Amino acid sequence: MLVAALSLALQPLEPIRLTPFAEGAPIPGGSAIPRRIELSPEAPTAVKRVTADLIKPAYGVMDFGPAENRRAILIAIDRPATVGERLWVDANGDGDLTNDPRIEWERTEFLIQGATQIRYSASVWIESGYHGPLAKVKIKFYRQQRFAPGGLPQDPTAVLAAGEYGYAGKITLSGLEMKAALRDELTAGDFRPGADSRSVQLYLDVNGNGRFEGVGERFDAGRPFTLVGTTYQIASITPSGDSFVLAKSADAVPEVLPPPNLDPGAVFPPFTAKTIDGHNVSFPSGMPGKVALLVFWATWDAASVTETANWLRAYEEFRGDGLSILGVSLDPAESEAKLQATIAEKKIAWPQVFEGRFWESPLAKRYGVVTLPFAVLVDRATGKVIASGDALRAGAIPRTYAKGETRLLSRLEVVIERVLGKRLEP
């Protein structure tokens, strides 16, 4: 199960020891891949004792830990008709579901397309069976209530489990000191890479923006990866993940670059492209005005079409004060006519780059665009990012004027007001 078939050219480096995730801190890389735990009304033989007041229980078992010390995590759900649903987890692994800490099985209601949905969730500390820093690991259990025709709740058939544990710290590779994290993505209880390449992930903040990007900063722990021209591979790792060894390898693999840092104050990497009208445009240096807004969008994306109204309003309000806009469409090649029609219908006056490549757009890939719409505001004089992403999207910020008039401003309007020193009137 350890990384196999390593090249004889491997040159081991010093063992790396990171520290467990801090309680309450954001989990590097976001949510783990959930495991599905099937439920049954029959109690497994490993269950030795349950609380006496169970009314309509369902049981499940999740295998956890390395093959040498595999254990079963037992769970029980009770869903009586008259009181709220309850969850028990055999956190200490003794088969007794009555002597573990009480669990708050939190019920949350939300709407999806006008229909009420119910979700239950709880994060539980489990005895991992390891000695050392990860003697206990935190696992989030959750399920979404399903409803039968007529609106009656169905009996639970499964619970999902996602690990909230791992290690974080700093690593120096290829002369770069970077934030790093190591995660058991499949909540298997074993940090040694398995047959599934997603099982264990190593995160490295290559671009230094304090976050772990999905591209170029997330690596399968069982495969080699290249960083600044040098190929590395995890040569060995303990089952608990508390120590691992990276090695240089002669087995070169292509380097995958992370997107650039687009946080405020970072220098925006410029580009030159051809607009849908056949003209070359350089961003940001070739744009007129004091600040240039780059917007990624598509006619097939409802959120993009909605956000267009904010861009149009800002353009009309600030173009005379130094705002220019460049659009990049992620429409596919066959939608060029639709794009042209949308531009005409909405009276979009700024230039548009159309590559016809959908999500394979080279510009979208270069700047790490994974959701639409996405915008970046750049200071033309310095070439530095002023704001990007959610800081420029939507918003309904109320403002009351001296004579009692009110107005709702978008986040984009508020940012441009500050930069250009112009206060919008009611």
Q: Where are the beta strands (DSSP E) in 104-192?
A: 106-112, 115-127, 136-144, 158-163, 166-173, 176-184
How many domains, in total, are found in the chain?
Answer: 3
| 118 Cα distance to chain centroid | 23
pLDDT of residue 3: 43
Among 48, 69, 70, smallest CA distance to 59 is for 48
DSSP state of 40: B
Q: Do the beta carbons of residue 241 and residue 182 sit within 8 Å?
A: yes
Tell me, yes or no, whether 223 and 287 share the same domain. Answer: no
Nearest-angstrom CA–CA distance, 202 and 245? 12
Select from 135, 163, 191 the last residue of a domain: 163
Are 174 and 147 part of one and the same domain? no
Residue 40: strand pairing partners: 59
User: Do the beta carbons of residue 259 and residue 367 sit within 8 Å?
Assistant: yes
Q: Is the same domain home to 144 and 48?
A: yes
Task: Identify whether 425 is part of a domain.
Answer: no
Whether 257 maps to a domain, the answer reads no
Residue where a domain terminates, one of 137, 163, 189: 163
Give the pLDDT of residue 257: 85
Task: Confirm if 287 and 330 have CB atoms less than 8 A apart.
Answer: no
What is the pLDDT, as a whole number, of residue 2? Answer: 39
**In this structure, is residue 377 part of a structural domain?**
yes
Helix (H, G, I), strand (E, B) or coil at 107: strand
Say yes or no: 407 and 276 in one domain: yes
Per-residue pLDDT tens listing for the chain (426 residues):
334 444 445 556 789 999 999 888 888 777 788 999 999 999 999 999 999 989 989 999 999 998 888 899 999 999 876 667 899 999 999 999 999 999 999 998 877 666 677 889 999 999 998 888 889 999 999 998 766 566 666 667 899 999 999 999 999 998 899 999 999 999 999 999 887 878 999 999 998 888 888 788 999 999 999 998 899 999 999 999 999 999 998 888 999 888 898 999 999 999 999 999 999 999 999 999 999 999 999 999 999 999 999 999 999 999 999 999 999 999 999 999 999 999 999 999 999 999 999 999 999 989 989 889 999 999 999 999 999 998 998 877 777 787 777 778 889 999 999 999 988 887
**Same domain as 139, residue 181:** no
Q: Quick one: 303 and 223 in the same domain?
A: no
Looking at the structure, tell me whether residues 243 and 382 fall in a common domain: no
CA distances 54 to 77, 296, 371, Å, are 9, 54, 45
Residue 227 and residue 108 share a domain: no
Does 104 fall in a domain? yes
CA–chain centroid gap for 16, Å, is 25
| 332 DSSP assignment | B
Spatial distance between the Cα atoms of 144 and 140, rounded to a whole number of angstroms: 13
Name the E strands within 185-322: 200-204, 218-220, 225-227, 230-237, 244-248, 271-274, 280-283, 291-297
Cα–Cα dist 47/382, whole Å: 66
140 and 202 part of one domain: no
Identify the helix (H) or strand (E) that includes residue 36.
strand 35-38
Same-domain pairing of 315 and 379: yes
Last residue of a domain, one of 106, 135, 163: 163
- Asked whether residue 202 is assigned to any structural domain, the reply reads yes
Distances (CA, A) of 341 to 219, 301, 334, 347: 42, 15, 13, 10
In a domain, 25, yes or no: no
Q: 322 and 363 share a domain? A: yes
- Helix-, strand-, coil-residue percentages of the chain, each rounded to 5: 15, 35, 50
Is 266 part of a structural domain of the chain? Answer: no
Tell me the pTM: 0.73
pLDDT value of residue 112: 65
- Non-local (6+) Cβ contacts of 414 within 8 A are 395, 397
pLDDT at 196 (0 to 100): 81
Q: Which residues touch 400 (CB under 8 Å, ≥6 apart)?
A: 406
pLDDT of residue 151: 61
Eight-state DSSP code of residue 230: E
Asked if 285 and 383 touch (Cβ cutoff 8 Å), the reply is: yes
Residue with tokens 């109690």: 43
Asked, for residue 264, whether it belongs to a domain, the answer is no
Give the amino acid at 229.
Answer: G
CATH of the domain at 393: 3.40.30.10
What is the pLDDT, as a whole number, of residue 213? 83
Chain mean position to CA 208: 17
Q: Which domain holds residue 179?
A: 169-248
Domain identity same for 149 and 182: no
